[in-house]
A and B are shown apart, each in its own frame.
Chain A
Amino acid sequence: MVKKYPVRVNVNGDDYEALVDPRKTLLQFLREDLDLTGTKEGCDEGDCGACSVILNNRVVSSCLVLAVEVDNAVIETIEGVKTGEELHPVQQAFVDSGAIQCGFCTPGMVITTKAMLQEMPNPSTKEVKEYLAGNLCRCTGYVKILDAVENAKEKLKNG
């Protein structure tokens, strides 16, 4: 019998209590225990950004965090980004700009863009490229993703 550890965590505004296997990553915990499957597993070693979530206000790769580490933490995943049925301006910008091909990288792209615009509302193109450098799109649709970020910047400024 594997020893499990209690974890209390707030995800997207909801409090959860769970007993977790210490080997479980935050990514596995979100997907398997909480059924929040919007966060994707890409490389599972911190290189691709598909599993990005916001942990205590910082964007991180959830595949490189153990679930036991997030006791008492506040986490935002892609499921928590929209308000009711209304998409978040960053999400709407990705739709409007056609910045989605297969869609696998999109949750990570949206989460990372949201984290970026919270930290700096008006990043330059260079700053955007640097901030998003850890989010890979294997469809290579980067131009439209950068368009979407520009679009999101404007939406948030005007909103």
Chain B
Amino acid sequence: METFEYIKPKSMDDAMNALNTYENAFLLAGGTDLLVGMKYNSIKPECIVDIKEIPRMNTFEFNDGWRFGALVTVRDIEVSDRLKQTMPFLNQTAKALGSIQIRNRATIGGNLSNASPCSNFGAMFLAMDAMLKIISKDGERQIALQDFFCGPNQTVLKKGEILTEIRVPEDAGKAEGIFLKHSAGKSNDLGLVNIAITLHREPGTNLCKKITIAMGAVAPTPIRAKKAEAVLNNNILTPDLIIRAAKKASNEATPISDFRASADYRRSLVATMVAKGINTLIKAS
């Protein structure tokens, strides 16, 4: 490994300066993806900008919708009682990510910025219609998570930009939701397929007012199963309709075959898991 500069800014301005001073600077948060990349020499930083001491980035709160700092750790989400009461599917999403050693370090902003096709929070926040706040020296911009991912490990983030916040609209906190990960056995391995669903129902009925279904590890980026959603929106969630939607979702998936699973198996898993997810939500009430 070539050596690099190490900078630990105490403010966003200092971080911006560092990012703009070096040609090939990388942000360090939890480091659970970055360090692995550096060890394999797939990432060769000229400078590491450790952003963990920038204030206000490791908290989350409700204030006209939810605001999550990008440096909130996966473990913080997993154990939050407040989230368990309002959005337990976020706790679920966190718990399904890696080992305790990883969850204690890994951050939600890092999980999104690393842009793995099987990113847990990529799928869940996509299902929640999350917005991202991105800061650069020229100011800030907001984009939908839907427009954030470009491909495996690729995002629209430009040189000198930092993802600082994930915002979730207020109504996502009023939805039912579920995160399902299927991996080999009970291991910590990456999901063969991840499914994240949020559901708004007419109270006391199975009438689906709005459903969102996001899928991970079945395309170059986490994606929404829009056609499956369209089948279900404004309809009664009958067993037949759920199966039809699950098949649609399966057709929307474009997975690859790799050593973990074949594309066919992943497509088949999508149908099973989408149906299972919706049925679990319906039966829970």
Q: What residues make up the interface of A, taking CB atoms closer than 8 Å to B? A: 2-3, 5, 21-23, 25, 44-47, 49, 52, 58-61, 63-66, 68-69, 71, 112, 115-116, 129-131, 133-135
Contact = CB atoms under 8 A, between A and B. Distances in A.
B99 A69 contact: no
Given A2-B3, A3-B5, A64 B99 contact: no
Given A21-B3, A22-B6, A44-B39, 7 more contacts: A3-B5, A5-B6, A22-B4, A23-B3, A59-B100, A64-B102, A68-B50
Interface string B92-113: 0001001111101100000000
A118 B231 CA distance: 48
Contact of B188 (A23, A45, A59, A134): A134
A46 B1 contact: no
A66 B3 CA distance: 13
Nearest to B48: A22
Nearest to B79: A119
B225 interface: no
Given A45-B39, A69-B28, A22 B3 contact: yes
5 contacts: A5-B6, A58-B75, A58-B104, A58-B105, A134-B188
B261 interface: no
A115 B99 CA distance: 14
Most central of A21, A46, A49, A134 by chain B CB within 10 Å: A46
B36 A45 contact: yes
Given A58-B75, A58-B104, A133-B186, A66 B6 contact: yes
Nearest to B30: A64
A66 B100 contact: no
A152 to B, nearest CB: 17
A116 B104 CA distance: 12
User: Is chain A's interface secondary structure helix, strand, loop, or mixed overall?
Assistant: mixed
A64 B104 contact: no
A45 B40 CA distance: 9
A64 B1 CA distance: 15
Interface residues of B, number: 27
Contact of B102 (A44, A61, A131): A61
B35 interface: yes
A133 B99 CA distance: 6
Interface string B67-109: 0000000010000000000000000000100111110110000
Nearest to B50: A69
A66 B36 contact: no
Contact of A64 (B3, B8, B32): B32
Interface string B18-34: 00000000001001100
Contacts of A135: 99
B6 A52 contact: no
Contacts of A2: 3
B187 interface: yes
Contacts of A130: 95, 100
Given A44-B39, A49-B99, A65 B6 contact: no
Contacts of A47: 188
A61 B35 CA distance: 11
A46 B3 contact: no
Contact of B36 (A21, A46, A116, A129): A46
A126 B98 CA distance: 16
